[in-house]
Structure 1
Amino acid sequence: MGSKSVEDLLEVSTGVHFSGFHLDDLEPRSLGVEQPTTSAAESVPKQPFVIGVAGGAASGKTTVCDMIIEQLHDQRVVLVNQDSFYHNLTEEELMRAHDYNFDHPDAFDTEQLLDCMEKLRHGQAVDIPHYDLKSYKNYIMPSRKVNPSDVIILEGILIFHDPRVRELMNMKIFVDTDADVRLARRIRRDTIEKGRDIRTVLDQIRGMHTLIRDAKTTKHDFVFYSDRLIRLVVEHGLGHLPFTEKQVTTPTGSVYTGVDFCKRLCGVSIIRSGESMENALRACCKGIKIGKILIHREGDNGQQLIYEKLPNDISDRHVLLLDPILGTGNSAVQAISLLIRKGVPECNIIFLNLISAPQGVHVVCKSFPRLKIVTSEIENGLNEDYRVIPGMGEYGDRYFGTDDDEQNVISQI
């Protein structure tokens, strides 16, 4: 395998300090069969050394792979990207491609990846698909022919998910990068490399935000554009639910392969502003059960649970928690804590809202790191009265058309 063994090179590489690396399995498994002293050993193919490189989207996995390849310049090295094994999107999925969850394990054809790896490990050349990230197909461009090599680098965001893929690896590397840095990189990459018009989407959302934030906007227009934004948030939140592949027979007698979303689902609205989001949820999920939580607010320091009515089997369901405004986060923490006491796993809760203050996001995520928050805009912060700024005023009053006196009566119940 050249003048230096892969083990020697990897031992040297571990002496270099890579910021954000978490290395495990540093003691590599044997690269192949034991070397007999006879010349017959030359006819026995050697097993390649497999390195797995995982990490969040835009974390710098490609850069790490390039560094490894540079250090293994004396070896035959091949890079296999998990992105090459995305499933082709169906016509229905193409219509909602921007809502498709490409970061879910089911988005990848893992069986095809395993088949390619098995052939490479046994000395056979393979054709790696070239997935086109603009058309969401793998047959638009010619595949890449890959020959057997001494070292195989497997790279991808979920390359550690399937235990069968992990078992192939002699070494695993996870690239840990700050989420804000990854987000900035991903937006730039998606707009340039994937042809996604993020600016157009953001401009449309910002236009609706401009209308609902304007103090002169009528109640009718406020409700209309709030409902449009809420619908977008709800649909995006539903995209984070687990789904499985499902085949159905069409009226033409053909078989259509699609997906079946999680049916064990319910909504929970934080009274009373959260009730403004219920219609959008019902429009997207026919017949969905919706529970209620009422929390009495006293400034920023006191929250008291007044009332709750939740489905009896809520512990077995995924929960969409509804509240259009995330301010300090204290009321949200109360509501989420109640759901967890009722047996709902933290990872099964998705918090949906229209606007979020950074302070509230921090409080919620620090307390419940496995929970997901879906929002349409992050605010500047909170003022001295703990009100979201720039905000949109008292959301419940503007949406339901109540005045200050009526609001005060409700607050005292």
Structure 2
Amino acid sequence: MPEDSSSIDYAMEKASGPHFSGLRFDGLLSSSPPNSSVVSSLSHLRSAVSSSSPASSDPDAPKQPFIIGVSGGTASGKTTVCDMIIQQLHDHRVVLVNQDSFYRGLTSEELQRVQEYNFDHPDAFDTEQLLHCAETLKSGQPYQVPIYDFKTHQRRSDTFRQVNASDVIILEGILVFHDSRVRNLMNMKIFVDTDADVRLARRIRRDTVERGRDVNSVLEQYAKFVKPAFDDFVLPSKKYADVIIPRGGDNHVAVDLITQHIHTKLGQHDLCKIYPNVYVIQSTFQIRGMHTLIREKDISKHDFVFYSDRLIRLVVEHGLGHLPFTEKQVVTPTGAVYTGVDFCKKLCGVSIIRSGESMENALRACCKGIKIGKILIHRDGDNGKQLIYEKLPHDISERHVLLLDPVLATGNSANQAIELLIQKGVPESHIIFLNLISAPEGIHCVCKRFPALKIVTSEIDQCLNQEFRVIPGLGEFGDRYFGTDEEDQ
């Protein structure tokens, strides 16, 4: 995803309500928001999850924590926002790591001219150690965070703060977005935006009471270093934020929405936290039971087809829910007006032969008269990269495309099919890839190359084995569905 902000993003930032320039709150749009500024913000949601760090496909690996970066100007209310998030996530393990802990200790020469030292410059921080801390915690290991003494301007040598691996890790500081390596570890980036006069008043109160400084020195430091550093380093990092919160801790609406989103993400598969374009339909005992049946090797062909069709129908219905819509009003038999939505008109399906054809009936049952194209890719001996045959609607570039393949394994065939669709003029964001099960390796392969498309699946399996089969998987889906075997092919 490009890091340059559009003019729309900058216009949004100047409005008065909470801004979500990159956050998706699935399920919240149907309820009535508390105020109109939230309505305006929700219409611009995109994705709060960084796609830079792959999750491990090892089932025994520790769960990936959800890493939140909180930045903003000095005394903007960052800590207050962090405390509110921690309080609302009381049922999860949450740790706060403050960038201030990673100030470099001043040398004797710097101490003699401490009034001339710029504590708001990126060079004042040991970013390498902060990065090491974040990477260590993300890997599930504890870390000894240094304790910085603001009166002596040195790290304390007699003690440290032990931070253990947790479900949620919050990195807070004025420049936590400055270094791209730290920034890319974050699943969500929050910028706390508070009026400059309010921030100055808070800084005077904090530095005089907590850090033993007089008002004149605080004002001098603010004018000489703090404000220029904010303009040069902190404010430009605002463009990287997924969520911008005006008024800091006073904005309860924004904080509530953020914590709702975090709760949702914590309940998702790790890959859904990393790739916001991956959607796993919500599991129920019915869905779990159908997966149990179709994965059993001794199930009859009739039952395999029956329960596969049921699951495929659920995946198709879920995929259709990600298509764009327009508002539509109709008059009901009672004479009342009902405000609803109109389906996307320009739509087609494309099945990857042969297994993908098993999903066509479910798509036709949901979308009457839908056009369906075909793509055949040679899977053996060429890593799924050799295109054999394609037959697509002539106006496919004008349509949203539902790409059909029940199993996403290595992702090579999917990538070839997606590349063909893009060559035909289909925008990447207009492609929704539907499958029953996905391997983590395939998700990584597709999402890294095509971050704008969407993947909808009913379950993410553990991994691929040495033969590139999905584990635990369900075998050769096409053979089981169509009643063939390898000898007949």
Matched, 1:233 2:315: yes
Task: Give secondary structure in 2 for the equivalent of 1:247.
Answer: strand
Are residues 230 and 200 of structure 1, via their aligned partners in 2, closer, same or farther at CA, if it must alter by over 3 Å?
closer
Q: Give TM-score, length-normalised by structure 2.
A: 0.48
- Long gaps (5+) in structure 2: 1-71, 80-97, 101-170, 177-185, 199-237, 270-279
Q: 1:300 to 1:203 in 2, by over 3 A?
A: farther
CA distance in 2, matches of 1:332, 1:52: 33
Structure 2 CA distance for aligned equivalents of residues 384 and 54 of structure 1: 40
Quote how far apart the aligned CAs of 1:219 are.
0.6
1:301 aligns with 2:383: yes
Structure 1 53/28 Cα, relative in aligned 2: closer, same or farther at 3 Å?
farther
Closer, same or farther: CA 284–29 of 1 in aligned 2, 3 Å: farther
Q: The residue matched to 2:387 in structure 1 has which SS?
A: strand
Name the TM-score, length of structure 1 as normaliser: 0.57
- Written as runs of structure 1 = structure 2, the 5 A alignment for 1:53-68 is 55=242, 68=248
- Contact map agreement 2:190 2:242 (CA 8 A) in 1: no
The 3 A distance-change label for structure 1 pair 303 and 199 is: closer
1:251 to 333, 342, 349: 333
Equivalent residue number for residue 80 of structure 1: 253
Partner residue of 1:136?
Answer: none
Q: Which of 337, 341, 354 is 1:272 aligned to?
A: 354
Distance 1:260 1:363 in 2: 34
2:449 corresponds to 1:367:
yes
What do residues 82-134 of structure 1 show as CA deviations (whole Å, max 9, x unaligned)? xxxxxxxxxxxxxxxxxxxxxxxxxxxxxxxxxxxxxxxxxxxxxxxxxxxxx
- Whole-angstrom distance in 2 between the partners of 1:53 and 1:251: 50
- 1:404 and 1:185 map into 2 onto residues whose CA distance is 39
After TM superposition, which residue ranges in structure 1, 4 or more long, deviate above 3 angstroms?
6-9, 11-17, 19-31, 51-56, 154-157, 198-201
Letter in 1 for 2:423: R
In structure 2, relative to structure 1, the CA distance for the partners of 1:293 and 1:12 (3 Å cut) is closer
Render the CA deviation track for 1:63-99: whole Å, top value 9, x for unaligned: x999x42xxxxxxx35334xxxxxxxxxxxxxxxxxx
Counterpart of 1:343?
Answer: 425
Give the 5 Å matches for 1:282-321: 282-299=364-381, 301-321=383-403
Return 5+ residue gaps in structure 1 as ranges: 1-5, 32-50, 70-76, 82-153, 158-174, 188-197, 408-413
CA distance in 1, matches of 2:452, 2:331: 37
Whether the 8 Å contact between 2:411 and 2:445 is mirrored in structure 1 is yes
Deviations 1:7-38 (A, max 9, x none): 9743998986616475779795899xxxxxxx
**Cα distance in 2 for residues equivalent to 1:29 and 1:380:** 50
Paired residue type of 1:319 = V
Instruction: Please list, as runs of the form range in 1=range in 2, the aligned pairs for 1:36-115 lying within 5 A after superposition.
Output: 55=242, 68-69=248-249, 77-81=250-254
Aligned with residue 404 of structure 2, among 295, 306, 322? 322
Alpha-carbon distance in 1 for matches of 2:282, 2:373: 36
Q: Which residue of 2 aligns with 1:400?
A: 482
Letter in 2 for 1:285: C
**What is the one-letter code of the residue matched to 1:225?**
Y
The one-letter amino acid paired with 1:289 is K
Retained in 1: the 8 A contact 2:189–2:240?
A: no
**Contact 2:189–2:241 at 8 Å: present in 1 too?**
no
Measured at CA, do residues 293 and 10 of structure 1 come closer, stay the same or move farther in structure 2, by a change above 3 Å? same
Count, aligned residues: 267
For 1:213, give the aligned amino acid.
R
Deviation digits for residues 301-357 of structure 1, max 9, x if unmatched?
Answer: 352101111111111111100000111000000000000111111111110001111
Q: Is the 8 A contact 1:52 1:155 kept in 2?
A: no
CA distance in 2, matches of 1:182, 1:27: 28
- Of structures 1 and 2, the one scoring higher in RCO (CA 8 A, sep 6+) is 2
**Matched residue, 1:10:** 76
How far apart are the structure 2 equivalents of 1:363 and 1:398? 26
> How far apart, in 2, do the equivalents of 1:200 and 1:318 lie?
24
Alpha carbons 2:191, 2:241 under 8 Å: kept: no
Q: Quick check: 1:355–1:375 contact (8 Å CA) kept in 2?
A: yes
Query: What CA distance in whole angstroms lies between the structure 2 residues aligned with 1:267 and 1:308?
Result: 13
Distance 1:239 1:341 in 2: 26
**Contact 1:269 1:292 survives alignment (8 Å):** yes
Q: For residues 365-411 of structure 1, give each alpha carbon's deviation from its aligned partner in whole angstroms, at most 9, with x where no partner exists.
A: 0100111111111112111111112111111111111232222xxxx
Change (3 A) 1:341 1:251: same
1:297 Cα deviation from its structure 2 partner: 1.3
Percent sequence identity over aligned pairs: 64
CA distance in 1, matches of 2:460, 2:331: 44
The CA deviation at 1:183 is 2.5
Which residue identity is paired with 1:220?
A: H
Change beyond 3 A, Cα 1:251–1:327 = same
